[in-house]
Amino acid sequence: MNRRLLIVSPHWPPVNAPDLQRVRMSLSYYRECGWEPVVLCVHADDVAGTLEPELELTYPPDIRIVRCHAWPIRWTQWFGLGNVGWRAWPSLYRIGSRLLREEHFDLVFFSTTQFLTFALGPVWRRRFGVPYVIDIQDPWRTDYYERPGAPRPPGGRKYVVARMVARLLEGPVYRRAAGFISVSEPYLTDLGLRYRWFGAKPQATIRFGVSAADFARVKEHPHKNAVLPREPAKLHLLYTGASGPIMPHSLNQLFGAFKTYQALHPDRAARFRFHFYGTSYVPEGKGVPSVLPVAGKHGLRAEVTEIPHRLGHLESLSLLPQADALLLLGSSDRSYSPSKLYPYFLSGKPILSVVFHNSYLETILAELNCSVVAAFDGGLPADSAQKIILRFFDLALAGFPPAEMPVRNEALFNRSFLAEALVRRQCELFERALAAS
């Protein structure tokens, strides 16, 4: 008899949001690891986000999905409440309580960036005795925007309120948790420094990974909207996913190097085009470019295209094979662990990564050895990253000779980053959490 797992993931297909992807990819494998999952989510009609109905075909149809409603955003926006975690909290509590009261569950698993929902964990544990595990995809409480040189925090008053709530609730909620999963080891390290008791909790760094089944699906059924413009004799470099205020350093390194390449080799540089797709989380028609303004400062608007609205997950995967090479940009948050790295790897395309030196992303790239890495910061020579980027452009024009490219660590990737392997590690953590509680 499998153990029963209640998964709280407010975002769920047909909604397309980054924080649902771990659970979505995992659902096909929980049963063979001894767990029967039930997903508690918010009805798509009550979520302000991009819809991707095709995602509903990517997990077993017999998995039980329990949907609840949230307060309408047209009401709550007058009070500055758009976050679905706040709007759906009463419904998630009520329906989750009914499930835990009427059925048997061994564990509750929170996998979301709607942090307020984590506060359901200690309430349910006190009422029903069911332990809970938290998936830390982003830090709930962070001092990132208080660090020297950091951009202004987004959201104005809402950020102030969110920061206050995080300070009040993170400690009590995490203290009662049975265990933790995190996509980034530094997130766990920071919590261990903040709370003396944290190190005794069962915990594991389990990255997002990728589903080979998703790639098989888009290969058989390419997304109809996923078309990369192709110009004869041009080389197309593609970046997919969010950009914005945490990535201007990487963008400036990339565009500054290309501007130098233009000055040195104008004929060669004329063959390159840069595409940035899905650079925000907002629906089509509402996105504001975040890359083009940076490109414009370098005089490169003609060479750069940007689609600022969020793309579907399968749509993004369909674009990767059409590019000549892929771009991976590091964040000024050095704990950043981008999920796009793993689809990039599986695509087999050459990758140019522009990242901060001594960042977590640089460590992962060194392990996988799948990319040309241009690392930068104040501790490195000013032109070291630029030289690597210029060399990448020459390699692209030469057709990326295999002898000149990194030898990818396929064995490590298959062992540590495919969804089925990562689910086994999740379930091992679940068992440890149950034993400890």
**Residue 144: its pLDDT value, please?**
62
Spell out the residues 6+ positions from residue 348 whose beta carbon is closer than 8 angstroms to its own: none
**What is the bridge-based pairing of β-strands 203-205 and 179-182?**
parallel
Domains along the sequence of the chain with CATH: 3-209+418-436 (3.40.50.2000), 215-413 (3.40.50.2000)
**From residue 291, how far is each of 63, 170, 287, 297, 372 by CA, in Å?**
40, 34, 12, 10, 22
CA dihedral 421, 422, 423, 424 (to 10 degrees): 60
Q: What is the pLDDT along the chain (437 residues), one digit of tens a residue?
A: 899 999 999 999 999 998 999 999 999 999 999 999 999 999 999 998 788 999 999 999 999 999 999 887 776 666 666 688 889 999 999 999 999 999 999 999 999 999 999 999 999 999 999 999 999 999 998 876 666 666 666 666 666 777 888 899 999 999 999 999 999 999 999 999 999 999 999 999 998 889 999 988 988 888 777 788 878 889 999 999 888 666 889 999 999 999 999 999 999 999 999 999 999 877 777 778 999 999 999 999 999 999 998 888 899 999 999 999 999 999 888 888 888 999 999 999 999 999 999 999 999 999 999 999 999 997 788 789 999 999 999 999 999 999 999 999 999 999 889 999 999 999 999 999 999 98
The C-alpha atoms of residue 346 and residue 68 are separated, in whole angstroms, by: 35
The C-alpha atoms of residue 135 and residue 175 are separated, in whole angstroms, by: 14
pTM of the predicted structure, to 2 decimals: 0.86
Spell out the residues 6+ positions from residue 136 whose beta carbon is closer than 8 angstroms to its own: 180, 181, 182, 183, 184, 187, 188, 191
Q: Which residue has the tokens 């390194």?
A: 253
- Look at the alpha carbons of 306, 309, 313, 314 in this order and tell me if their dihedral is positive or negative: negative
Q: At 238, is the secondary structure helix, strand, or coil?
A: strand
CA dihedral 98, 101, 107, 109 (to 10 degrees): 20
Host H or E run for residue 426: helix 419-436
**Residue 1: its pLDDT value, please?**
81
Closest alpha carbon to 390 in 237, 262, 249: 262
Closest alpha carbon to 355 in 375, 338, 371: 375
Asked if 338 and 362 touch (Cβ cutoff 8 Å), the reply is no
**Planar angle of CA 238, 241, 246, nearest 5 degrees:** 110
